[in-house]
Amino acid sequence: MTNLPNYTDYDALGLAELVRKREITPSELKEDALGAIAALNPELNCVVGDLSEQAERALDVGLPEGPFTGVPFLIKEIGVQAAGSTFRMGSKLCDGFVSNADTELMRRFRRAGLLTIGTTPTPEFGFNPTCESDLHGPTHNPWDLTRSPGGSSGGAASAVAARILPMAHANDGGGSIRIPAAACGLVGLKPTRGRVPAGPISGEPLSGLAIELCVSRSVRDSAALLDAVEGADVGAPNVIASPERPFIDETSVPPGRLKIAWSAEAINHAPVDAEVKAGLEKSVALLESLGHELVEDKPAVDWPSYFEALVVIWSANLAWSIDLMGKIMNRTPGSDNLQHVTEAIYRYGQG
């Protein structure tokens, strides 16, 4: 039994509108989301941390008036940090770590009125395009429990695709928003570098590759959340101009006739599955039917050089993160608290 019988029909802005109209309360929405977690999480394994008590305290104090006031929310256990929340990054090395303060992005999530009720899993240190770890086990795709929701924001994507809630925090350094969004049929936008704050703990995570936002079920939700959190924080290494008008306004503006490039070839020259090609061609045909100009083209990419640079950036950043967490947790990084591939990349990154 839910407080809102058609709870799963609404996106985040839709739920917030019901709260504003006093047709439902934030507490009732919280209970609906927690009920969905209780019913679905045993099969999906998409929620690994319980923040319901903190949420109840936030309700007692009163939520800020924002675009998402009263909407239940989940945060991924990497990137953003919330005071009193576990922050394990999918690793036994970090098991037991609890954040002692909000990061700037978390403060903006709260200011937008979001009610955080739990945390979602990530592969160890966010390094896989799927979502499983020795610490938490595998997360499953609600469309097909035998398949992965993708990664590294697979927990967030699984929860949103299962309609536990309409939107969840996610981040992306090499596809970690876009891959699970594609695997779960969601909206996945990776914002421009510098658009969303990463401080004060980090200036540019993953040397500027990792960007924070969400996965959602509607374009307007992602646009409205970007409006709510965009803008540099104090000391940000990159500052970019705010948009001339809100992103949410852009969702109702006709785009005109666009010229869109597409390619069925992978930039690393790997084989492309026939089902993937068919899906791409279907999208091309749809865009053409909408009046846009589609041009088959591809960027010239020196894949070996590009991949070598990625390996250096990722492994060096991983080594720094692991050494830092080892000191914080008073643990020596090694095979007893790191997965085999993670440890190998860590050793490589140490030089």
Give the active site residues: 76, 152, 176
How many residues make up the chain in this entry?
351
Residue in 135, 136, 175, 185 with CA at minimum distance from that of residue 152: 175
Q: How many CB atoms lie within 10 A of CB 92?
A: 17
HSE of 261, CA atoms in CB hemisphere, 13 A: 5
Lookup: tokens for 70: 């009263």
Cis check: omega of the bond before 152, within 30 degrees of 0 = yes
Burial class (CB in 10 A: 0-12, 13-18, 19+), 312: middle
Cis check: omega of the bond before 149, within 30 degrees of 0 = no
Instruction: Report residue 168: phi and psi, to 5°.
Output: -145, 150
**Would you say 128 and 121 are in contact if contact means Cβ atoms under 8 Å apart?**
no
Cβ-count burial 257-295 (b if 16+ within 10 Å, e if not): eeeeeeeeeeeeeeeeeeeeeeeeeeebeeeeeeeeebe
